Amino acid sequence: MENNGDKMSKKPNILLISLPYQGHISPMMQFAKRLSSKGAAVTVITPFSANLISDDDRNRSINIEYVSYDHGEGQNIVTVEDYMANIETRASEKLLEVVENQAFDVLVHDSLMPFGVDFGHRHGLKTAIFFTQPCAISSVYYLVYQGKIRCPVQEGADLSFLPDEIPISHVKDLPYDLYHERYPGTLEMLANQFSNADNADWIFFNTFLGLEDEVVNWLSSKWKIMTIGPSVPSMFLDKRLADDRDYGLSLFKPDGDACIKWLDGKDSDSVVYVSFGSLANLEQDYMDEIAWGLLDSKCSFIWVVRDTEKSKLSEKFVEESADRGLIVNWSPQLEVLAHKAVGSFMTHCGWNSTLEALSLGVPMMVVPQWTDQTTNAKYIVDVWQTGVRVKAHDKEKITREDVTKSVKDVMEGTKREELKANALKFKEMALEAMSEGGSSDKNIDDFIAEIVTSSTST
């Protein structure tokens, strides 16, 4: 692993804390590794037992200390407001315990923990907000925070409240909670990410230049923001962090050997990889249509179906797909996407999955569910043109015919050639951003240099 610590007169000491979701933990862990590789001392407060950190990550020469906090998992907390209040109480208690025993320069906290700004400043720390969503999504939530968007947004509404930099013209391309709030209180929670943004010392986004430049520039007119992504393990990008092949903390155990061994027996670009993330719970008819659509496509496939969802697969489908499909509880997604046999990715469009597909040059079929996924899908299909939409906006339900058609579009013919070429273009941009001297790499260097300058001048 590279180490630029000898370039510094003082080693910065940085504290990081994340929300208890895999999609928030993973990019924060990768950012911690990047900071450490550049000579910073790093402490990560994880919302789950530090024992979940992989042995490989612990054994690498990474100057990172892991501390866990009890976020109240299993408690009977009903509302979003109560959930976030509980997180604030428990995270603040652990932060206080940690900062009373060690001197830190900066607190980097999840954007959904806006209390981190005030906590850090009360205890003499500079603060940095870490957004795990793209700038486009965050810009829309900022407009909600400002009161410039009245929700729920009705079908057919005039979207002129959006700046020109956000190319959305259909209500269902907005973040899901703006037109159909799944859990009451969620939209307010997401808008409140900006309640302390004016007081933060740095604002980071897990994105990269070339991906959403116009909206990055629009947000930069509000605050000084830094793109520091894609926060993907280094061995799948620039390979500057030796043996960095996974995020280091996974709430699910992947069936790694089974996946890779099965893929090794398949032809190049012949397999469809299907995963809807760690949270999605598909309705029975939704599950049925995807299953039979995959089977009708005649393509081989790997489908990640969590144990809690497997009862939705019919015995007939499992039996008939046995010779062409592999169904696993969880997968080593990066290794799967990087495998030569994988030709496309059917995805829920979570931001981490989206970045992984872009970073590895894999065309996508989008099946967004909620939150930011609807807007991510819009960018994948219409802005970046690296994927196809499985279900059109004007259709209420997905059908097996939709699934079969999207698989054929992405796996065969001229449409595939166009999608693959665009996907490879963004793969090169992602690599360039994280390589030495790239835009994201330079922003991380500048962040560390600013800490050093600030601490030596006081």
Catalytic sites, residue numbers: 24, 110
**452 near 8, Cβ under 8 Å?**
yes
Alpha-carbon gap, residue 439 to 433, rounded angstroms: 5
Instruction: Report the alpha-carbon angle 378-417-259, nearest 5.
Output: 80
Residue 221, token pair as written in the block: 């007119």
Alpha-carbon gap, residue 314 to 320, rounded angstroms: 10
CA-based Rg of the chain, rounded to a whole angstrom? 22
How far is CA 326 from each of CA 258, 308, 330, rounded to the nearest angstrom?
9, 17, 11
Query: Whole-angstrom distance between the N-terminal and C-terminal Cα of the chain?
Result: 31
For residue 328, report the phi and psi dihedrals to the nearest 5 degrees: -130, 155
For residue 237, report the phi and psi dihedrals to the nearest 5 degrees: -130, -95
Alpha-carbon gap, residue 187 to 185, rounded angstroms: 6
Question: Using CA atoms in the order 97, 100, 104, 105, what is the torsion angle rounded to 10 degrees?
Answer: 110
Alpha-carbon gap, residue 162 to 284, rounded angstroms: 36
Is the Cα dihedral 159, 164, 169, 171 positive or negative? negative
What's the number of CA atoms in the CB half-sphere (13 Å) around residue 208? 28
Q: Provide the strand spans (E) within 207-339.
A: 225-227, 271-275, 300-304, 325-328
Q: What is the DSSP string of 398-456?
A: --HHHHHHHHHHHHSHHHHHHHHHHHHHHHHHHHHHHSTTSHHHHHHHHHHHHHHHHHH
- Tracing tokens 């360039």 back to the chain, one arrives at 432
- Tracing tokens 């692993």 back to the chain, one arrives at 1
How far is CA 269 from each of CA 120, 243, 293, rounded to the nearest angstrom?
49, 26, 19
What's the number of CA atoms in the CB half-sphere (13 Å) around residue 204? 27
Residue 221, SS3?
coil
